[in-house]
Chains A and B, each alone.
Chain A
């Protein structure tokens, strides 16, 4: 991935970001929507459970308490109907009535029969209220006006909570009141016994906000509840998220006793919604882990993918460059062929004209014999012919090299190819202090190959060897020899720095190069490999650090070809030496 890292240009970073974002969005948005949907419906169901539990408690207790109060008032009314008017003024009758009420209902503490002036006609009970005057009491006035009265709760005898119930009895202008103190423990215990979850409780407050029953948490009887008392309403009201005693609670409330008391059932939000909260916590945790995992996997995948894309792009770029390069080479080849032709014609004329002059000099040999410059004339004309021939050699080489088409295979003398390549490389090699040495075996068998392709192979190997010695200078040895198995071996050795072990297995890989960027395409050796492989041969490399490198090319010898045939058919390089310099191919 190192190469990919180098390629992490802004373009690829942007690409990676876009891909990652797309993957995360596509994966996570449906998840998030599903999560929200399920969460909200779960939330709704938990909420309705909580509310219906609270509402159920409040409704049930409202009925029970109202019934309790109504019953006590009805008890009083029944008693008065039985006894009124004559027997009620009798203290003994009152005592007996109280006793029977206690026996029947238990809750009655005392009982008093009061006349229209607010004074007891008769009293039974523990408080000793026989002399009490109620004429100015609020409750007395109310019962006289309304007919019945039920008081708030107060601390009564022995700190037991009580309330007072009274009914007006009357006939004409003489009104009486039957009044009883009633122990409220009966309905208090009903309300105080309510338990919902860990914190759910119920209590009653009066219009002043004072507790009428004991609240389990911090609510003394008759203590101030701190509740914000609502306007009168009917039915049950539910409030969520109310701050009470430093906690957030959900509460259900309803008015009792005709709007005098408020029955409240409350539970901490944290408690009531604890299944929801824990489910939410778990879901958030799972989502978070899933999200992190997703992000991690996306990052890894994206990085890998973009790395691959970058590498592919780079390879494509290199391939494009290569195609452009071969296009350039092809046009260069055409150009070279054209130039060679155009140059050969004028050179031929020059050479012929020089020859003509020599002919003429021969004709007039007596004339020239007298001239002191005769030898100079001959030398100069000879030089023109020689240099003309050299021009031809150069153009022939150029043509031979420029031709990159898949030339047909023919029996080829490798020594000739080696000599030609060496001739081309020798001079530039000398500039960097590299000495080229050829060690060619005579009577080498021919190989069936395309000379231009063999040239290419050798050129690449020799150039690589020279490049390896560029800094230090050294020696490149190109040797050929015949192998016993009917093969020909060409070795190209240098005494340069060698190839490290890690690089060695990869030298024939396409696009692998150790040369600086822009210098090598990494294709040279892989092209060599391809050509040699196509010819049915093998190419291998032997090297160790500081011990130079040797490339070995083994090619099968052409069958039935002798070394004599080689010299007769040394087609591609026939311009080299020989006493028939103009001869190219004799194919008969």
Chain B
């Protein structure tokens, strides 16, 4: 089975570094994008199975990026991730096609579970 390819999108470089290493260590193929636009560009070059998308970013925020991803790559699973917890944005994110919504800092195992769950794997 091909390794699951994940695109981490966050404007916090420190978070991207640590998270990508940890996920990579668990056998996932991880790429990183510091912004929504870059994430879209990278997806255009090479699609990913799952996008882990930060909610609050400068320029293109999480929901806007989510909309564009769902437009261009409907098959890509998106898990929203944020430091900002509101019921409203969670509901709208899921309504717009996100698979799930997690609050930072999240347990790595929880994130892995959600990634696999989104792909229908155990």
A residues touching B (Cβ–Cβ < 8 Å)? Answer: 337, 340-353, 355-356, 359, 363, 388-389, 391-392, 396, 399, 403, 407, 571-572, 580-588
Contact = CB atoms under 8 A, between A and B. Distances in A.
B56 A388 contact: no
B110 to A, nearest CB: 5
B72 interface: no
B91 A341 contact: no
A455 to B, nearest CB: 14
Given A353-B18, A359-B22, A388-B105, A337 B94 contact: no
Given A349-B15, A584-B101, A586-B100, A343 B107 contact: no
Interface residues of B, number: 29
A396 B22 contact: no
A364 to B, nearest CB: 12
A356 B94 CA distance: 29
B14 interface: yes
A582 B107 contact: yes
Contacts, number: 100
Interface string B1-34: 0000000000010110011011001000000000
Contacts of B111: 582
Contact of A584 (B14, B21, B56, B85): B85
A580 B110 contact: yes
Nearest to B95: A587
B74 interface: no
B19 A396 contact: no
Contacts of A588: 94
A117 to B, nearest CB: 150
Contact of A587 (B86, B94, B104): B94
Contact of B101 (A355, A399, A585): A585
Contacts of B108: 352, 355
B119 interface: no
Contacts of B94: 585, 587-588
Nearest to B84: A341
B41 interface: no
Contacts of A355: 18, 22, 108
A349 B19 CA distance: 8
B83 A341 contact: yes
Interface string B91-117: 100100000111111111011000000
B110 A344 contact: no
A343 B85 CA distance: 12
Contacts of A391: 105
A250 to B, nearest CB: 100
A345 B86 contact: no
Contact of A347 (B22, B101, B104): B104
B90 A584 contact: yes
Given A355-B18, A392-B103, A582-B105, A587 B91 contact: yes
Given A349-B12, A353-B18, A355-B18, A342 B83 contact: yes
A585 B110 contact: no
A483 to B, nearest CB: 29
Nearest to B90: A585
B15 A585 contact: no
Given A349-B12, A391-B105, 5 more contacts: A344-B84, A348-B104, A359-B21, A388-B105, A399-B86
A584 B102 contact: yes
Contact of B90 (A345, A348, A587): A587
B5 to A, nearest CB: 20
A349 B104 CA distance: 9
30 contacts: A341-B83, A342-B83, A343-B83, A344-B84, A344-B103, A344-B105, A347-B104, A347-B105, A348-B106, A349-B18, A352-B105, A353-B14, A353-B18, A355-B22, A356-B22, A359-B21, A391-B105, A392-B105, A396-B85, A399-B86, A407-B87, A580-B107, A581-B110, A582-B102, A582-B104, A582-B111, A583-B103, A584-B101, A584-B102, A585-B101
Contacts of A571: 87
